[in-house]
Amino acid sequence: MNCVLEGNSIKAFGKAIHALSRVGDELWLDPTVKGLALRSVNSAHSAYACFLFSPLFFQQYNLDSVREQDSGPIKCKLVMKCVLPLFRCSTSIEHSVKRCQISVSTGSDQVIVQFFCRHGITKTYNVRFLESEALQAVFASHLCPNVLKSPARLLGDMVMHFHASQEEVTLSMSAPKVSLRNYNEGRNDHMKMMHTEMSLHPDEFDYFQAGMDSDITFCLKELRGLLCFAESHCLPVSVHFGTPGKPVCFSVEDMVLEATVVLATLADFESRGPSQPTETPAPTTHSCADAAALPVGIHETQSNNLQVLPDVTELVESSQGSPITYPPVLMQLQCQGDSACAGMTPPSSMICSLLFEAMSSESGDDDDAPRLPVLAYFSDEEDYPRSPSL
Amino acid sequence: MKFRGKIIDIACLNHFTRVVTTISKLTKMCVLRLTPDNLFFVLSGKVANGGVSMWCELSQANFFDEYQMEGVSSEDNEICLEVTPENLSRALKTVQNAKAVKVKLTKKHCPCLTIAAELPTLSSVSRVVTHDVPVDVIPRRLWHEFKEPSMPDFDVSIYLPPLKTMKNIVDRMKNLSNFLVIEANLNGEMNLKIETDLVSVTTHFRDLGNPPWGDDASQDGGPSQSRDPESMVEARVDIRRLQQFLVGQQVNPSKAMCNIVHQSVLHLILLHEDMSLQYFIPAVA
């Protein structure tokens, strides 16, 4: 693989790496026909981020011819600590770097990053990579009952009210408003913790769909990188979420790139003590078994979510057609059919894991929809935009 | 007990935030006393914080456009709260562009000072952000610990050099020694001295000027006129306490001075337009 970046793209690329560095310690570089995908996941597998740069983003973009035994281009995993310093100082990059060339050398297992700078200086960095299976998370964002699309600065402004040390926040949808508050686990010193809350009116959003009332709690740290990126590019941020326990997806998109962050959310509210008086009574249990028996009033897609999960062995469309890696904890969430969820983690579990399937927003085209067995009929296609478009 | 205040003016909000931020740099926890006319941030000298005490006085009219309070009772028309100023500072810092900020005493899961800010948005509806800062109510029987400190029987009073300069010097001296001697005389001269086995460093300041407290403020001990203007009085203090005081100052005060009681206490006084801050550092042997 060989690609060349010029001008502002270099800065954008660097910012993407910054955002990814907030998520995980390793960077997956995945050159595909659709573009170069940069991905990262955190150690707990509760946060995943992906930046997909289409070939148009680059001055030049060439995929090498196939290697002997493998079916396609390289999948490589880099240590973030090695890559981040290259793009650390965005102001100096802006001033001095004219061109950046990134190539993957299979023979020596290296990614070669060359900066062609002013005054004839060329900086070459060889970063060793580990060959690895593709990392790809799949999230059926078009099935999410709640969708928000916020202008670039809105989420950033909101998040600014929370201190950098605040780890988790709760986003509550209860039509007709959305509120955001900090989440403090029941700790001994909870009496001393500050409590921050704000609410947003639907008018502030470019798109507001409140399919169901829900409170999701997720970690803010991994999100800040994406919000920073969105703000610097003035891109609106889309948020797709559903019931607590299901992942929440934040994405930004423009003509040449797509970025997504998928975060796990806390599954259980019952463990919260009386010290959280502002807690709105959330739907209590969300085990698969219960969901299957949800009253008619709840949105149809609710039950769909659980049954649309693919077979473990199904090769969902990933760039290389390689099997997806499923961390062990996720296996439990794979519900097969109605008798589903014997293996489901009990409601009291505090950890929620990601579903690893093909990202619907990444795949981008409609071919993917038939791959996932849709067992229920969408009453109204227009209500569920597959991915936010500008 | 009720308290409700509202700040509308952006400059007032800014000043108030700066005051609270300064206090937050001086101490982790302090007492906030609310009276009908004033707010006081008080730290009473205890062994735990090295005997350092602080008294900061603000006139509520300088900051609040609306201010209503009802104290514990009609004779004791005051509210005393123990608060972590850093929480207040964090809350205030994020709402600097608010249209209005309300500060209220509320009871959520515990007594709280609620900072509710109305922020401007692009849409027609304002966004409201609330920060609940937990506080502890101080019972009346402990109020005597938080009374205004009396002016100490000082031997010398002198204006301080520019705080930034002092801070730079103290920062560097801190690398060499844990204790610093501050000495001054009635001739406007001040020295900052440190002494270790290997090295001694002294910084001399001249022509600082001495505040004219006047004869009635001069002490019963010896009238200041009789003191030899050249003779120095000194106080040896923990350098970290002095540094902490200097680090917190973000704006140059209108007046900055210190009173030294020989080998007893260092009393620092900063007067700003809208607030006054006194800081006592005890001398160590």
Q: Where are the domains of chain A?
A: 2-131, 142-186+194-257
Strand pairing class (B200-205; A168-174)? unpaired
Q: Can you give the pLDDT at residue B214?
A: 56
A2-131 maps to which CATH number? 3.70.10.10
User: Would the pLDDT of A322 be above 80?
Assistant: no
Q: Which of B84, B123, B131 sits opposite A204 (nearest CB)?
A: B123
Question: Among positive and negative, which fits the CA dihedral A300, A306, A311, A316?
Answer: positive
Which pLDDT tens digit goes with each residue over B23-48?
999 988 999 999 999 999 999 887 77
* DSSP secondary structure, B56-69, as one string: EEEEGGGT-SEEEE
CATH numbers and ranges of domains, chain B: 1-143 (3.70.10.10), 154-213+228-253 (3.10.150.10)
- B27 and B85 Cβ atoms separated by less than 8 Å: yes
Residue A205 carries which DSSP code?
Answer: S
- Which pTM does this prediction carry? 0.73
Tokens 């240590």 belong to A79
B128 and A CB contact within 8 Å: yes
Shortest CA distance from B107: residue in chain A: A277
B117 and A CB contact within 8 Å: no
Percent of chain A with pLDDT over 90: 17
Which pLDDT tens digit goes with each residue over A227-267?
989 988 899 999 998 888 888 999 999 889 999 999 988 87
Decide if B134 and A203 are in contact by the 8 Å CB cutoff: no
Q: Can you give the pLDDT at residue A269?
A: 55
Tell which CATH classification among 3.40.50.2000, 3.70.10.10, 3.30.1330.30, 3.40.50.10470 matches the domain A142-186+194-257: 3.70.10.10
**Please, how many CA atoms are within 13 Å of residue B142, restricted to the half-sphere of its CB?**
12
Which pLDDT tens digit goes with each residue over B148-185?
888 888 889 999 999 999 999 999 999 999 999 999 99
Shortest CA distance from A159: residue in chain B: B94
Common-topology check for domains A2-131 and A142-186+194-257? yes
Nearest to A364 by CA among A205, A212, A251: A251
The alpha-carbon gap from B119 to the nearest alpha carbon of chain A, in Å, equals 10
Separation in Å, CA A247 to CA A239, A340, B173: 11, 19, 54
CA angle at residue B143 from B256 to B47, to 5 degrees?
Answer: 65
Distance CA B126, CA B128 (A): 6
Minimum mean pLDDT range among A37-51, A300-314, B60-74, B253-267: A300-314
The alpha-carbon gap from B86 to the nearest alpha carbon of chain A, in Å, equals 10
Distance CA B189, CA A349 (A): 68
B262 and A CB contact within 8 Å: no
Residues of chain B contacting residue A275, judged by C-beta atoms under 8 Å apart: 109
- A102 and A113 Cβ atoms separated by less than 8 Å: yes
Decide if A194 and B91 are in contact by the 8 Å CB cutoff: yes
- A239 and A169 Cβ atoms separated by less than 8 Å: no
Decide if B122 and A151 are in contact by the 8 Å CB cutoff: yes
